[in-house]
């Protein structure tokens, strides 16, 4: 399924790109080495897709067998909460360095190194003898996801400026597939092998496979000379930027609480570990087709109607899982959560729709993601801490309800047509 690249750009954004064209694989194909350029273009596509598959496997593989990990390492509820918080902390911290690292080493070396570090971290944490080392090596296992969150969109913008919609769909869909596969397969692997350590280490294999295209790909010299995006000043003064931070943070907090604690909640309700793991897989599996459809509906219906449809799934899902979790309709509550959390691609689309220029999009995305991930990190940690103190799921579910309200009201603001440049009174951007 394809999407018109211009659909994700605000008015003025397409004109900006036409005024400052960026070298593309299509342009490079016209050179004398035509076939090599085509092969290089497809190699880059393969690199992006295979890398995206691995960006969340280190997260959902842990959530699928969290009870076994806690039992094997003697991990407390508080430390388990820290473990489920590590992804968002890594995405906020390591991701902040990604632009600087990309400028210094280039996308090829950056993604290759990140995937290598991830592979080593996945194996090392799987066989860590204690909780401290498990947490330390988990940071390495999360490296590719943290770097990729920032690096891949830049690569898509730089090398596929006329195919942004197609590549973003491929990237986000493969990301969802990898997330779902890891969530659904880790528990069965643990059951077949009889060892949770092998089930975790197994995800180093697809990460190693993803390195191959990046080793083979050579960026064209013309594309290497593309001008950097200008810088937009004073983003912290924008109400829109802060609301984007809130909607991104609330959505991410809900998603990571669900990914980290769903199996624990369901097993506490009497569901078997394998069945609970399959529910986590369903949560991420539902997101795949919905994530493909959301950008299309956003263009056809507009951001606000699409957002309202998605967020309306949260109240019944929360009530159902809270009051009847582990029952025969558990699959329905999980599916509704999967639809609701698919507001994520809508938020990514809004980064472009709420800016008039590439500089505005870059500034809005960077500000919202870095701060939003820090906000999101408090969610899983708070769940582990509160559950450890009370032994009850009532307060964690109340927290999810508060986050849903925050998501709703911040979403009402950002889905109204407005632009960050207008709020800042800046018609021009500086380098």
Write the pLDDT tens digit of every residue in 160-185.
Answer: 766 666 676 777 788 888 888 888 88
Residue % of the chain over a pLDDT of 70: 81
Whole-number Å distance between alpha carbons of 52 and 173: 9
**347 with 369: CB under 8 angstroms?**
no
**CATH topology match: 25-228 vs 232-426:** yes
Q: How many CB atoms lie within 10 A of CB 164?
A: 21
Is pLDDT of 249 > 60?
Answer: yes
Residue with the two structure tokens 């991930």: 373
Residues in the chain: 431
CATH superfamily of 232-426: MFS general substrate transporter like domains (1.20.1250.20)
Task: Find all residues with CB under 8 Å of 261, minimum gap 6, and list them.
Answer: 63, 66, 84, 380, 383, 384, 396
Do the beta carbons of residue 357 and residue 13 sit within 8 Å?
A: yes
Contact predicate 199/314, CB 8 Å:
no
pLDDT tens column, 10-57:
444 434 444 444 444 444 444 444 667 677 788 888 998 999 899 989
Residues 6+ apart with CB under 8 A from 414: 240, 243, 244, 247, 303, 350, 354
For residue 182, which of 85, 46, 277, 69 has the smallest C-alpha distance?
277
Q: pLDDT tens digits for 182-219? A: 888 898 999 899 899 999 999 999 999 999 999 888 76
pLDDT confidence of 372, banded at 50, 70, 90? confident
Average pLDDT for 406-426 = 89
Structure confidence at residue 386 (pLDDT) = 86
CA dihedral of 329, 330, 336, 338, whole degrees rounded to 10? -150
Residue 367 CA to residue 96 CA, distance in Å, equals: 10
- Round to whole Å and give the CA distance between 112 and 118: 10
How far apart, in Å, do the first and last CA atoms of the chain sit?
Answer: 36
**pLDDT top residue among 102 and 275:** 275
pLDDT digits (tens, 9 = 90+) for 333-357: 999 999 999 898 788 778 777 877 7
The residues that bridge with 430 in the sheet, in sequence order, are 231
In angstroms, the CA 356 to CA 9 distance is 8
CA nearest neighbour of 206 among 72, 105, 92, 58: 58
What residues pair up with 231 in beta bridges, in sequence order?
Answer: 430
Q: What is the CATH number of domain 25-228?
A: 1.20.1250.20
Which residue, 415, 419, 410, is CA-closest to 354? 419
Q: What is residue 317's predicted lDDT score, i.e. its pLDDT? A: 94
Quote the percentage of the chain above a pLDDT of 90. 26
Higher-scoring residue by pLDDT: 88, 174 = 174
Q: How many helices (H) and strands (E) would you count in the chain?
A: 21, 0
Reported confidence tier of residue 415, pLDDT bands at 50, 70, 90? very high
Higher pLDDT, 19 or 381: 381
Check residue 164 and give its pLDDT: 63
**Mean pLDDT taken over the chain:** 80
Sequence ranges of the domains in the chain = 25-228, 232-426
Residue range 413-417: average pLDDT? 92
Q: Which of 324, 122, 126, 271 is nearest to 210 (CA)?
A: 122
Radius of gyration of the chain (CA): 21
Between 127 and 369, name the one with better pLDDT: 127
CA pair distance 55, 175, nearest whole angstrom: 7
Report the pLDDT averaged over residues 124-135: 92
> Taking 70 as the threshold, does the pLDDT of residue 229 lie above it?
no
Cα–Cα distance measured from residue 423 to residue 343, given in angstroms and rounded to the nearest whole number:
24
* pLDDT score of 413 more than 90: yes
CB 118 within 8 A of CB 127: no
Torsion, Cα 44 46 47 51, to 10 degrees, reads 150
Is 255 a residue whose pLDDT tops 50? Answer: yes
- For residue 158 the two structure tokens come to 């730089």
CA separation (Å) from 316 to 150, 252, 344, 411? Answer: 34, 19, 19, 19
CA distance 84 to 96: 20
- 328 DSSP assignment: T
pLDDT for res 24:
46
Q: Look at residues 296, 263, 377, 270 and name the one whose alpha carbon lies nearest to residue 1.
A: 296
Checking if the pLDDT of 406 tops 80, the result is yes
Other CB atoms within 10 Å distance of the CB of residue 184: 20
- 99 pLDDT band, cuts 50/70/90, is low
Q: What pLDDT was estimated at residue 118?
A: 93
């Amino acid at each position: 399924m394809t999407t018109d690249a211009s659909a994700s750009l605000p008015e003025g954004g397409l004109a900006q790109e036409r005024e400052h064209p960026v070298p593309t694989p299509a342009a490079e194909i016209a050179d004398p080495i035509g076939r090599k350029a085509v092969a290089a273009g497809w190699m880059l596509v393969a690199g992006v897709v295979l890398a995206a598959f691995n960006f969340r496997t280190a997260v959902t593989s842990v959530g699928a067998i969290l009870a076994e990990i806690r039992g094997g390492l003697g991990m407390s509820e508080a430390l388990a909460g820290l473990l489920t918080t590590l992804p968002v902390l890594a995405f906020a911290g390591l991701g902040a360095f990604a632009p600087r690292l990309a400028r210094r080493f280039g996308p090829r070396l950056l993604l290759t190194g990140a995937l290598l570090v991830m592979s080593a971290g996945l194996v090392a944490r799987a066989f860590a003898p204690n909780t401290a080392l498990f947490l330390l090596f988990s940071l390495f296992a999360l490296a590719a996801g943290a770097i990729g969150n920032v690096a891949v969109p830049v690569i898509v913008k730089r090398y596929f400026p006329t195919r942004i919609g197609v590549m973003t769909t491929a990237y986000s869909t493969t990301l969802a597939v990898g997330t779902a596969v890891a969530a659904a397969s880790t528990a069965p692997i643990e059951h077949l092998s009889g060892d949770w350590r092998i089930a975790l280490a197994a995800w180093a294999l697809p990460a190693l496979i993803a390195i191959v295209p990046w080793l083979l790909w050579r960026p064209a010299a013309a594309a290497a000379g593309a001008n950097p995006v200008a810088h937009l000043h004073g983003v912290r003064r924008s109400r829109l930027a802060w609301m984007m931070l809130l909607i991104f943070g609330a959505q991410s907090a809900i998603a990571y609480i669900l990914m980290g604690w769903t199996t624990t909640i369901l097993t506490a309700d009497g569901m078997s570990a394998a069945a609970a793991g399959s529910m986590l897989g369903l949560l991420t599996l539902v997101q795949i087709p919905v994530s493909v459809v959301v950008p299309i509906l956003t263009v056809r219906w507009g951001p606000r109607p699409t957002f309202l449809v998605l967020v309306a799934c949260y109240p019944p899902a929360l009530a159902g899982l809270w009051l009847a979790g582990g029952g025969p309709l558990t699959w329905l509550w999980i599916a509704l959560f999967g639809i609701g959390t698919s507001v994520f691609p809508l938020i990514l689309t809004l980064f472009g729709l709420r800016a008039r220029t590439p500089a505005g999009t870059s500034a809005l995305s960077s500000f919202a993601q870095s701060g939003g991930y820090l906000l999101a990190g408090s969610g899983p940690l708070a769940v582990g801490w509160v559950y450890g103190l009370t032994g009850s799921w009532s307060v964690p579910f109340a927290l999810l309800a508060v986050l849903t309200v925050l998501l709703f009201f911040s979403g009402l603001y950002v889905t109204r047509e407005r632009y960050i440049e207008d709020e800042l009174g800046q018609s021009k951007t500086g380098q």
